[in-house]
Structure 1
Amino acid sequence: MEVEDKYKRLLIGQLREELSPKEQNELFAWVYESPQHKRLFYELKDIWDSSKIVRPRNEDRQQEEWAKLWTEIEKLEKQTNGSKGFLWSRNLREVYKIAAILVIAFSASWFLLNQFQKDEYNTLEVPYGARTNITLTDGTKIWLNSGTTFKYPAKLDQKDVDVFLEGEAFFEVAHLKNRKFNVKTSTINIQVLGTSFNVKSYDDDEQIEATLVNGSIRIDGQLDNKTIREPILLKPNQQATFVKGTTGFQVTRIAERNLHEDSAKAQEPTATPTESKASLTIFEKVKVEDYTSWKDHVLVFKSEPLMSLVRQMERWYDVKIEIKDESLKKSRYTGTFENETIEQAIEALSLSLPFDYTIDKNQIEILTKKNL
């Protein structure tokens, strides 16, 4: 049976409860005009109600969905058309069901896509040798260090906003009433209302750091196979340092911290790395500028193990550095790099530690330790 586009639209609108009283009167005048129209309407309504078809909101998607429905119905009508015509077919209900199933499948896939788009995330990847900063639509300011991947939702008007970090970032989170801002890493989760803090969480580092400048943050999550039982609350000038490990879980509080000096010991290679002990250290008094200076293009090292320092310089300068002499990996360096080139930085290191080195474009080899 051929149905005019006008009545197709009215049928769809009625099923979707979108018609005005005037349009409903026009539709039902057509429905009760003939037994065929009436049967068509109630068959469609029955299928609609029983199948619970997902109802997309996007108008273009609606039109595409229902155009598909009528196309499939007309196609099936031609296939089943006999002497009594489509509407009098004994398989009428089954034919409509088949058409509806096709639409349901389409609608469900659209619904999932729509939900994905509603929860769509933007991803920002900062390559080695670069740093950047962004301001989100809610006013939150974020600085991203080299080698960082940051994922954030396109819409920030939810009660809970989840962002995902792999790398290092400094956050100035805008305070919005009744809104929670959550920073999620592969290991820890940080929940804030409005505050400034630094998070360093690279997958290839043995250590994770969360340093609070002002406000307050709440940390939970899992350190390797050990869950943090009690959420950690940090106050300004405090730092939580997590050292990855495979056994045990040790929590320590230290009144003051000399940058990297204590945690660096945990980073030194051990004879039995498979038995390394996970640890969490809370430092009560931290000079936060030492941990946030990178966003102002300044690298600060204090008693930093060369092995850890090299990883940071690889990201900072986008180079590959290989330490040939194992004994050098435990050597420590204190200094500040601001506007130095990689050549100047390596030369400064070699004079301080000291060692021989070679540079071939972005490939650097730290050779043997010099005997003075």
Structure 2
Amino acid sequence: MNPKEKYQRLLNKYLLNECTPREAEELFDHLKKDEAGRLLLKNLQSGFKEEINQPKSIHPEISQHVWKKLEVNIQQQPVAKVYPFKRWISIAAAAIILITAGLFFFKSQPHITPLASRKERFKNDVAPGSNKATLTLANGAVIALNQAKNGLITKQGQTIINKVSNGLLSYKTLSSANNTIQYNTISTPKGGEYQVILPDGTAVWLNAASSLKFPTAFTGTERDVELTGEAYFEVAKNKAMPFKVTANNVKVEVLGTHFNVNAYDDESTLKTTLLEGSVKLSSGNEQVMLIPGQQGSLGRQGGNFQVATVDTDDAVAWKNGNFNFAKEDIQSILRKVAKWYNVDIVYQENAPKKQIWGTVSKFENVSEVLKMIELTGVAHFEIEGRRITVMK
């Protein structure tokens, strides 16, 4: 990791309150080396209040010479004090102002749309998604889980289904003897997410616009489920019964592990990211093993698996309440926005190609996400109902 990426990561972790004391000391030691860094440090402590309301004020001071300092190795010097972190949502949102590909500190002042004009363009705001899903039973009955009361939903064979709380569904098998296997499907719409505990104890977090088909009881020699969209799995260990996820033409086989599968139809590749344990990916005659910290990708047209070492936090940020943009282009970012906020994205011209680094809470209104992107100068937006227009 080069120095630029190193300090991007440290600032990102600090804004999410994930820095160790040593990492925070290193970041602050670096920031205190010149006037622009000290100004940023002061802004961090004050919560970016002035910069969010008057974004022009930050640009002149955060200048090119600070950026150049990130291009060289910087020796760590211990500091006596670790500054306290305050968890303001505005700080998490403001991360994207500073963490942009090739722009850790603004190299030049981008065009800033006047605030009044922005208010006019963003007057039709959209609230974030929430815990919403439907459960389709084996007999075809459909239950809207966000409208159901907590407690017993139904019983199928020897399996009882409970809504534990808002956003959490649980399956429990009372007896496997003579238990008729039936299949259920839990589906989230755009703007929805949900968690389900499967009959074997496996926990699954389902992202927006996704679905999981699974049996009401696991019997035989395998535990098979089918996924569309994206989900994070924490698989209950059972060496005698491997757990298999089928997503499009890729199969993920595990005994007990933590991993994320992104298999949205509008993405060009299917990605499996491993956090713990080991998994085997297969598609046709192609197979590959992953170890923790690796991501296996396969293009929709087939071919060979590509394996890369990645920051697993980026893959599961959605589960933890954030959008993480790690060298992503605006089209990729806005596909995530479209699913979570249930909006349509329309490009007035060709989509900008710049990549963006950053983190922003996904529990803000969509206007807050768009404002942060606008401050990078990459694009401007207009909200009309549930349509977002992207403009240069």
Task: Give the unaligned 5+ runs of structure 1.
Answer: 1-116, 222-226, 252-279
| 1:209-358 pair list within 5 angstroms | 209-221=271-283, 227=284, 229-245=285-301, 249=303, 251=304, 280-283=305-308, 285-328=309-352, 330-338=353-361, 339-358=363-382
Pick the aligned partner of 2:210 from 148, 172, 181.
148
Output one character per residue of 1:108-133: Cα deviation in whole Å (capped at 9) or x when no partner.
xxxxxxxxx94421101111112111
Worse overlay, 229-238 or 166-175? 229-238
CA distance in 2, matches of 1:327, 1:313: 15
| 1:57-76 pair list within 5 angstroms | none
Aligned to 1:84: none
Preserved contact between residue 331 and residue 351 of structure 2 (Cα < 8 Å): no
CA distance in 1, matches of 2:222, 2:351: 48
Could you say what secondary structure the match of 1:203 adopts? coil
The alignment status of 1:162 with 2:224, answered yes or no, reads: yes
Q: Which amino acid aligns with 2:377?
A: L
Preserved contact between residue 331 and residue 353 of structure 1 (Cα < 8 Å): no
1:168, distance to aligned residue in structure 2 (A):
0.6
Preserved contact between residue 330 and residue 351 of structure 2 (Cα < 8 Å): no
- Which structure features the higher share of helix residues? 1
CA distance in 2, matches of 1:346, 1:327: 15
CA distance in 2, matches of 1:333, 1:353: 11
Preserved contact between residue 333 and residue 353 of structure 1 (Cα < 8 Å): no
Output one character per residue of 1:145-193: Cα deviation in whole Å (capped at 9) or x when no partner.
0110111111113321110000111100001230111100112001111
Preserved contact between residue 354 and residue 378 of structure 2 (Cα < 8 Å): no
| 1:24-35 pair list within 5 angstroms | none
The alignment status of 1:174 with 2:174, answered yes or no, reads: no
Residues 193 and 321 of structure 1, relative CA distance in 2, 3 Å threshold: same
Preserved contact between residue 173 and residue 193 of structure 1 (Cα < 8 Å): yes
Output one character per residue of 1:233-273: Cα deviation in whole Å (capped at 9) or x when no partner.
11111110122347xx3x4xxxxxxxxxxxxxxxxxxxxxx
Could you say what secondary structure the match of 1:177 adopts? coil
Residues 166 and 331 of structure 1, relative CA distance in 2, 3 Å threshold: same
Could you say what secondary structure the match of 1:137 adopts? coil
CA distance in 1, matches of 2:220, 2:360: 41
How many residue pairs get aligned? The number is: 213
Could you say what secondary structure the match of 1:158 adopts? coil
1:361, distance to aligned residue in structure 2 (A):
2.0
| 1:7-18 pair list within 5 angstroms | none
Higher relative contact order (CA 8 A, sep 6+): 2
1:230, distance to aligned residue in structure 2 (A):
4.0
CA distance in 2, matches of 1:156, 1:327: 46
- From the CA coordinates, give the structure whose radius of gyration is larger: 1
1:295, distance to aligned residue in structure 2 (A):
0.7
Task: Give the unaligned 5+ runs of structure 2.
Answer: 1-178
Q: Which amino acid aligns with 1:335?
A: G
Structure 1 length-normalised TM:
0.55
CA distance in 2, matches of 1:324, 1:243: 28
CA distance in 2, matches of 1:140, 1:120: 18
Q: Which amino acid aligns with 1:353?
A: G
Structure 2 length-normalised TM:
0.52
Could you say what secondary structure the match of 2:307 adopts? strand
Residues 286 and 184 of structure 1, relative CA distance in 2, 3 Å threshold: same
CA distance in 2, matches of 1:327, 1:123: 36
Aligned to 1:207: 269
Residues 218 and 131 of structure 1, relative CA distance in 2, 3 Å threshold: same
Could you say what secondary structure the match of 1:241 adopts? strand
1:137, distance to aligned residue in structure 2 (A):
2.1
The alignment-based identity, stated in percent, is 31
Residues 360 and 230 of structure 1, relative CA distance in 2, 3 Å threshold: closer
Output one character per residue of 1:308-365: Cα deviation in whole Å (capped at 9) or x when no partner.
111111011111111221042x222221121321011111112213333211121111
Superposed CA RMSD in Å reads 1.7
Aligned to 1:110: none
